[in-house]
Amino acid sequence: MSVSTCPSEPSNAVAPASGLDELDRAIVLATQAGLPLVPDPWGTVGKPLGLAGNEVLARMRRMQASGVIRRIAAVPNHYRLGYVANGMSVWDVDDAHIERLGREVAAIPGVSHCYRRPRHLPEWPYNLFVMLHGKNQAEVERQAEALRERLGEACRDHRILYSSRILKKTGLRLARRPGPPR
Amino acid sequence: MAELDALDRRLIDTYQRGLPLCERPFAAMAERLGVSEAQVIERLQLLQQSQVLSRVGPVFDHARAGASLLAAVAVPEAERDEMAAAINRSPGVNHNYAREHDYNLWFVMTAADENQLEARLEALEEELGWPLLRLPMIEGYHIDLGFPIPWNELEAS
């Protein structure tokens, strides 16, 4: 089980596909659950695809350069490290100041994600989403308090939505291939 | 919390921000940490087995590999589990959290492109019988590099 960083879906402002060809997509599929932990991971990934290791590496580099890959990383499971409380905090922030404040908030320790999203009035007035992680709920509340101070008068209201259950979480997110829903 | 020694911590601290993208990445890490390649690989395997690391691998920007959207729905508590199951069955859903709010189910819908995304949302909306709150990201402010882990504090807890 993992709580770590949710919901981490990206913008849909960028055009899809972004120049990935069939082999790129095959590499994404083969690596998105993790690299093989062997001295030559690229060769191991390439073998079933009929690709040499250096070709896989070249494609990985290209995908990183184009931004499809943000980074290759050892991704910690924050839940296992003791960050068992995660709160999605949502804030109603003055549109005139949200750009500056969003960037400031993103730099606060404990904040893993900070996104601007649309309001849906009247039922949903919140336009800034900030994921907070702490060892317990009290710590998350303290982080939210610090955030509240930082936002000052530009913030009209906020809520913290704790997750009561993780119903599904998977790192496997790329569809096998663009096409009709399966 | 799992028992982690100094090497484990250095591995996590240093490489949650990014591995070298080179021919022998684990050898490059080993050189930097002053240990052997085999040691690095063994540690990473252990950290993965004990689930301290979710994985060692690429972090994709899915906006550039398709379309996705955070969505929420307010359903009666009595129907929540049933609705959650329907959401989980729906193609393209990759996160689904129950949260304490009127909007009590939160999930991420993904698709190959915008048209497919909207079609999936509409199909799911119809199945659930409740309107979905669509919350696309307008802008991301975080610098997605993980965050420093305060080992001492965690140990004290």
Is the pLDDT confidence value at A52 over 70? yes
Helix (H, G, I), strand (E, B) or coil at B20: coil
- The string of DSSP codes covering A25-92 is HHHHHHHTT----SS-HHHHHHGGGT--HHHHHHHHHHHHHHTSEEEEEEEE-TTTTT--EEEEEEEE
Encoded tokens for B63: 């906006």
How far is CA A154 from each of CA A27, A146, B51, B137, B140, rounded to the nearest angstrom? 45, 14, 40, 20, 19
- For residue range A84-95, list pLDDT tens digits in order: 888 899 999 999
For residue A20, give how far its alpha carbon lies from the nearest alpha carbon of chain B (Å).
8
Residue located via tokens 């317990």: A136
What integer pLDDT is reported at residue B15 of this predicted model? Answer: 93
Q: Residue A172 has what pLDDT?
A: 41
Per-residue confidence band for A166, with pLDDT thresholds at 50, 70 and 90: low
Summary mean pLDDT of chain A:
82
Nearest by CB to residue A168, choosing from B22, B51, B88, is: B88
Q: Residue A180's pLDDT band (boundaries 50, 70, 90)?
A: very low
pLDDT score for A168: 66
Answer whether residue A122 shows pLDDT above 50.
Answer: yes
Q: Give me the interface pTM, i.e. the ipTM.
A: 0.75
- Of B25, B93, B133, nearest to A41 by CB-CB distance is B25
Answer whether A112's CB lies under 8 Å from A133's CB: yes
Contact by Cβ (8 Å): A95, A127:
yes
A168, A174, A177: which to substitute to probe chain B, counting the most B Cβ within 10 Å? A168
CATH says A85-162 is which class?
Answer: alpha beta
* pLDDT band at residue A170 using 50, 70 and 90 as cut-offs: low
- CA distances, B154 to each of A79, A95, A111, B47, B119 (Å): 12, 37, 17, 17, 45
Q: Which residues contact A177 (CB under 8 A, 6 or more apart)?
A: A25, B112
Instruction: Provide the residue count of chain B.
Output: 157
Q: Cβ–Cβ of A115/B140 closer than 8 Å? A: yes
Single pTM value for the model: 0.73
**Closest chain A residue to B149, measured at CA:** A81
Q: pLDDT by residue for chain B (157 residues), tens digit each?
A: 567 899 999 999 899 888 999 999 999 999 999 999 999 999 999 999 999 999 999 988 766 767 889 999 999 999 999 999 999 999 989 888 899 899 999 999 988 789 999 999 999 999 999 999 999 989 888 755 555 666 766 665 4
Q: Which of A9, A35, A57, A124 to mutate to test the interface with B (most CBs of B within 10 A)?
A: A9
Q: Residue A133 CB: number of other CB atoms within 10 A?
A: 25
Check residue A173 and give its pLDDT.
43
- Partner-chain residue, chosen from B58, B68, B139, that has the shortest CB–CB distance to A12: B68
Chain A residues 93-112 with CB within 8 Å of chain B: 99, 102-103, 105-107, 109-112
Tokens of B27: 């050898």
| DSSP 8-state assignment for residue B132 | P
Q: pLDDT of A68-88, one tens digit each?
A: 898 999 998 877 887 788 889
Q: What is the pLDDT of residue B141?
A: 84
Q: Which residues of A touch B126 (CB under 8 A)?
A: none
Report d(CA B7, CA A148) in Å as an integer. 37
